[in-house]
Amino acid sequence: MIRIILSLILIAQVSTISFGQEVTTPPLRNQPKIEFIDDQHLMLFGGYNASGFAKMNDTWIWDGKQWQERETTSNPPARGSHAMVTIPNERAVLLFGGNGENGPLNDTWIYKDNTWEEWKGDGPSPRYQHMLTYDTKRKKVVLFGGAIGRTVDSTRVYTYFNDTWEFDTNSGWSLVTETGPPPRAYGGLTYNSKDEKTVLCCGYNRENGRQSLSDTWTLDGNTWTLINEGQINPLDHIQLVTTDQDMPLTFGGWTGSDYEGETWILDKKHWSQITTVGPSPRSAYGLATNPKSGAVVLYSGWGPDGAIDDLWIFSNQRWAKIY
């Protein structure tokens, strides 16, 4: 698809793009995942196609000017509802799990030097809609929660997790704790370097009827602490990242009945809503932070009219549309 550049603000600190420039964009999709490989390259992998059902396994790179599809011989199998996170000191991106062609997955893949490679070893059970972040102090990937679904007597039954895992490329996966926040899927998880803690927010659980959540927790090593409940709207199908001001940020989401379009910032233990013109209401978008500039990039998502094809940047407390 061809799109037009609307803003001169750069995502990745590379050479200037031109106003009105045409950009070839990846195929429309639902629940994409994006991560920065480094401060100049943003990666997109997988998701569901525009109908919301067919899984995808294409890899795309945005360099601040154009999207380019990367053809590799070892792409992970097609999936949606997966999770990815940057491993900054290795200029790599880790992918875990998701909803594959034959159900929930628990495979681990690492994208580095333009190549996908599967990491072999034991780890968390199969799941999707789980959350990942990277603890820069302890140099560990952190995983929390997720869900699986199965059909029992023609009824769809879901199981939600609240286990916490860690991963590093030397020792692999290790279980941290199976206690803490209530089980959930598709909340937000990020590491706040200012407070040196992992932050968890929102999500949903429909084991006893669908419930969107509004609680906020922090993880310090292996201990979870509830720091806020009810101040932010109950939201799910969101992501959480840390901004250029070292504050966790989330956008939009699904309340169980409507799409949201607000931007929220967490300052220590308190959420506040940022008043700024930004992306249209949506959930299930891709969200990532540039490791050098701290600018936040939002890609695509799912709104009232289906899949959305746009790219936004949040910096200095305001949104700007790239295309």
What are the boundaries of each domain within the chain?
A: 2-321
Res 13: pLDDT: 41
Counting Cα atoms < 13 Å in the Cβ hemisphere of 212 gives 18
Q: Is 88 helix (H, G, I), strand (E, B) or coil?
A: helix
Phi first, then psi: what are they for 32, rounded to 5°?
Answer: -75, 165
3-state helix, strand, coil in the chain (%, to 5): 0, 55, 40
User: How far is the C-alpha of 1 from the C-alpha of 168, rounded, in Å?
Assistant: 37
- Contact status, residue 98 vs residue 79, Cβ threshold 8 Å: yes
- DSSP β-bridge partners for residue 55: 48
Give the strands of the sheet with 259-267, arranged side by side.
240-242, 248-254, 259-267, 270-274
pTM here is 0.93
Does domain 2-321 fall under CATH 3.30.420.40? My reply is: no
Mean pLDDT per segment of 10 residues, for the chain of length 323 residues?
A: 50 44 88 96 96 91 94 91 95 97 97 95 97 96 96 87 96 96 97 95 87 96 95 94 94 94 95 94 97 96 95 95 94
Burial of 51 (0-12, 13-18, 19+ CB in 10 A): exposed
Q: Is 90 helix (H, G, I), strand (E, B) or coil?
A: helix
User: How far is the C-alpha of 119 from the C-alpha of 153, rounded, in Å?
Assistant: 36
Residue type, 186: Y
User: How far is the C-alpha of 190 from the C-alpha of 287, rounded, in Å?
Assistant: 11
Res 15: pLDDT: 33
Res 151: pLDDT: 83
- Contact status, residue 262 vs residue 268, Cβ threshold 8 Å: no
